Amino acid sequence: AQKVTQAQTEISVVEKEDVTLDCVYETRDTTYYLFWYKQPPSGELVFLIRRNSFDEQNEISGRYSWNFQKSTSSFNFTITASQVVDSAVYFCALSEADAGNNRKLIWGLGTSLAVNP
Amino acid sequence: DAGITQSPRHKVTETGTPVTLRCHQTENHRYMYWYRQDPGHGLRLIHYSYGVKDTDKGEVSDGYSVSRSKTEDFLLTLESATSSQTSVYFCAISESLAGGGGTQYFGPGTRLTVL
């Protein structure tokens, strides 16, 4: 069973629209971390944010914001006033503190965002 | 940006030949990782290293070996390349393990084509 689900495979918006990328995760651990990465068309993977399971405060960084809700096991990412440069594939990932799993990130399959002028 | 380089950036090779990809970091991070990225599969961990000469297998390690003789270098070898190993390979580094909240920073990737 997939532990990180990004249900939106592709999203297309027009510039200046707000867009939310969904991430739902499954874990039995009480201590875990959630990440978002961006992969622009050039191909590199860029770290955006890390959130630990004990910090449910929402995070805002410029036009980017993240909504972490443990009650729904979601860690959603919103881009406000989207721009063409936001076009990329966005990945959500989970790491668990359990001794057997603590070496790796569990990745979602990504959401491809196209922002059209 | 984390100082991570990968070489080569692109490679075309033939089935059956050995191939070595290199990852070099200037951050002195303890942990290094090799992933492959394929459509429909996302990122999958091949091998990782938790120190010089200390390595372990990931989820898709068959057909791959690794070596780490220096903190800054992590080599991935395809012992006898097959077409199924055509992929984009990413190296990553972190100061601590993922389960400890370690953020992984990625290199630019190597696009490998096996004919």
Q: Is A114 on the interface with B (CB under 8 A)?
A: no
Predicted pLDDT of residue B97? 72
Give chain B positions within 8 Å (CB) of A104: 45, 48, 58-59, 98
Could you tell me which residue, A96 or A86, shows the higher pLDDT? A86
Residues B57 and B61: their CA atoms lie apart, in Å, by 6
Neighbours of B56 (CB within 10 A): 12
Tell me the pLDDT tens digit for each residue of A26-73: 998 888 899 999 999 999 999 999 998 988 888 889 999 999 999 999
Give chain A positions within 8 Å (CB) of B104: 47, 105
Residues B48 and B32: their CA atoms lie apart, in Å, by 6
Neighbours of A23 (CB within 10 A): 27
Closest residue of chain A to B46, computed from CA coordinates? A104
Beta bridge partners of A38: A46, A90
* Residue contact A101–B99, C-beta within 8 A: yes
- Distances from the Cα of B18 to the Cαs of A20, A24, B6, B27, in angstroms? 44, 40, 17, 29
Tell me the pLDDT tens digit for each residue of B17-30: 999 999 999 999 99
Q: Chain-centre distance of CA A56, in angstroms?
A: 15
Predicted pLDDT of residue A99? 58
The pLDDT confidence band at residue A98, using thresholds 50, 70 and 90, is low
Structure tokens belonging to residue A35: 């990440």
* Closest among B91, B112, B111, B109 to B24, alpha carbons compared: B91
Q: Is A47 on the interface with B (CB under 8 A)?
A: yes
Tell me the pLDDT tens digit for each residue of B82-94: 999 999 999 999 9
